[in-house]
């Protein structure tokens, strides 16, 4: 073998050894990594300084918004429609509504959505085992080893602000209601009690079953500025024997202008107490002399809540030429859509 040939062979072996070494190093660094800078913080699964990060979370300094990104090749055609991604780990599920974008240079399809780093998502990241990411009929899996430790910078940067924004001035309660939103795309659930806050979920529109329409029901835990904080949304099968379908779980906010419920208590008070002055009595006789109860009061807005009391607004359908519109506090409400809970 000529000297030059031997040199070239040695160079090829050296290059191969170098590539193997680099691959081993990269493999060792594959996992969860977090970093913090002046602009914000991030957490990603991948290999640092290579551009390989199939799933990531990030937030800007001073922002209450968490950006989630996932590299995922759709099975079918991908348009501009919203795509829900479901994160699942440790018995916790967090849905995130995303929008897909094709990066032509790298030929990658990126799903990006915005949410907040609340307690539920923090617990999911800190869970042990595997992170399951469901997108339509497809799924990805990422081991969560090291995620909790790597997320320290992200949690420090993102959680504090979101927690302060959520807790300030929130009245706590425990009631249930249903969606009266007429949008066929459903009722948006937002991260904060603001119309411009990030959408973190959607409550489906009412469904028709055997000629009857049934709305999505919600569990309410608090209120602020006309917004209601919910912990769960579900669709209940009142006709058949199918189990209830959980369509939202976590913590989110919906406008009280899109919520309704049924009444059993016949008095509207000026405050959340039996001792507060009476605003209106909802039982009596209608225009034809027939007795009626509080169930004829059609609630079309919730303003606030406290304990098991709720401030409602609606119309008293008692047969008057002009149905009186009333607002006040009541208790003993009902979210069952086929009975009065009495």
Most confident of 12-21, 22-31, 94-103, 327-336: 327-336
Q: Write the pLDDT tens digit of every residue in 169-221.
A: 788 899 999 999 999 999 999 988 989 888 888 999 988 777 778 899 999 99
Choose between 325 and 119: higher pLDDT. 325
Kindly tell me the burial class for residue 105, based on how many C-beta atoms sit within 10 Å of its own C-beta (0-12, 13-18, 19 or more). exposed
| Structure-block tokens of residue 283 | 């039982």
**Confidence (pLDDT) at 284:** 63
Choose between 135 and 16: higher pLDDT. 135
Q: Which of 31-35, 261-265, 282-286 comes out lowest in average pLDDT? A: 282-286
Q: Across-strand partners of 44?
A: 33, 56
Q: Which of 85-89, 165-169, 270-274 comes out lowest in average pLDDT? A: 165-169
Choose between 229 and 251: higher pLDDT. 229
The values of phi and psi at residue 206, to 5°, are -60, 145
- Sign, CA torsion 137/143/144/150: negative
Neighbours of 3 (CB within 10 A): 7
| Contact (CB, 8 A) for 234 and 216 | yes
pLDDT bin (cut points 50, 70, 90) of residue 145 is: very high
Contacts of 136 (CB under 8 A, 6+ apart): 74, 75, 83
**Confidence (pLDDT) at 131:** 95
**Confidence (pLDDT) at 230:** 93
pLDDT bin (cut points 50, 70, 90) of residue 106 is: low
| Residue 238 CA neighbour count, 13 Å, CB half | 19
Q: What architecture (CATH level 2) is domain 31-166?
A: Sandwich (2.60)
Burial 286-302 (b: 16+ CB within 10 A, else e): eeeeeebebbbbebebb
Mean pLDDT of 238-247: 79
Angle at 154 between CA 148 and CA 157, to 5 degrees: 140
Q: How far is CA 225 from the centre of its chain?
A: 19
Contacts of 234 (CB under 8 A, 6+ apart): 216, 217, 218, 244, 245, 246, 247
Average pLDDT, the chain: 80
Tokens 């957490």 locate to 43
pLDDT bin (cut points 50, 70, 90) of residue 78 is: low
How many Å apart are CA 185 and CA 324, to the nearest integer? 31
| Structure-block tokens of residue 289 | 């002399």
**Confidence (pLDDT) at 75:** 59
Residue 12 has pLDDT above 60, yes or no: no
**Confidence (pLDDT) at 19:** 31
Return the closest-CA partner of residue 327 out of 291, 287, 282: 282
Return the closest-CA partner of residue 177 out of 332, 7, 334: 334
Choose between 2 and 237: higher pLDDT. 237
**Confidence (pLDDT) at 178:** 93
| Residue 75 CA neighbour count, 13 Å, CB half | 8
Residue 6 has pLDDT above 60, yes or no: no
**Confidence (pLDDT) at 80:** 53
**Confidence (pLDDT) at 55:** 95
Q: Write the pLDDT tens digit of every residue in 17-29.
A: 333 333 434 445 8
- Sign, CA torsion 10/13/19/24: negative
Mean pLDDT of 238-259: 86
Q: Where in the chain are all domains bearing CATH 2.60.40? A: 31-166
**Confidence (pLDDT) at 342:** 58
Mean pLDDT of 320-327: 79
**Confidence (pLDDT) at 226:** 95
pLDDT bin (cut points 50, 70, 90) of residue 310 is: very high
Q: Across-strand partners of 176?
A: 219
**Confidence (pLDDT) at 289:** 58
């Amino acid at each position: 073998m000529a000297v030059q040939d031997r040199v070239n062979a040695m160079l090829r072996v050296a290059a191969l050894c170098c590539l193997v070494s680099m691959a081993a190093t990269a493999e060792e660094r594959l996992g969860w990594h977090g970093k913090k800078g002046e602009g914000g913080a991030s957490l990603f699964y991948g290999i640092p300084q290579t551009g390989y990060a199939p799933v990531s979370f990030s937030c800007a300094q001073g922002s209450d918004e968490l950006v989630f990104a996932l590299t995922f090749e759709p099975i079918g055609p991908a348009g501009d429609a919203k795509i829900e991604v479901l994160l699942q780990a440790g018995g916790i599920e967090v849905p995130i509504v995303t929008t897909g974008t094709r990066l032509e240079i790298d030929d990658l399809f990126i799903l990006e959505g915005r949410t907040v780093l609340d307690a539920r998502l923090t617990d999911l990241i800190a869970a042990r085992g595997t992170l399951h990411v469901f997108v339509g009929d497809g799924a990805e899996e990422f081991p969560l080893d090291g995620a909790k430790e790597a997320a320290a910078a992200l949690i420090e940067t993102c959680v504090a602000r979101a927690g302060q924004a959520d807790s300030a001035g929130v009245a706590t309660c425990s009631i249930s209601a249903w969606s009266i939103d007429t949008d066929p795309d459903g009722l948006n659930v937002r991260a904060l009690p603001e119309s411009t806050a990030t959408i973190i979920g959607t409550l489906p529109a009412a469904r028709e079953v055997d000629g009857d329409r049934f709305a999505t029901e919600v569990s309410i835990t608090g209120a602020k500025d006309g917004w209601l904080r919910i912990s769960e949304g579900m669709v209940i099968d009142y006709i058949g024997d199918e189990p209830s379908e959980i369509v939202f779980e976590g913590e989110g906010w919906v406008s009280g202008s899109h919520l309704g419920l049924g009444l059993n208590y016949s008095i509207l008070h000026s405050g959340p107490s039996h001792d507060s002055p009476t605003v209106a009595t909802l039982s009596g006789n209608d225009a034809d002399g027939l007795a009626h109860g509080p169930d004829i009061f059609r609630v079309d807005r919730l303003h606030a809540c406290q304990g098991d009391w709720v401030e409602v607004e609606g119309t008293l359908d008692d047969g008057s030429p002009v149905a009186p519109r009333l607002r006040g506090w009541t208790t003993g409400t009902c979210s069952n859509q086929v009975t009065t809970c009495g």
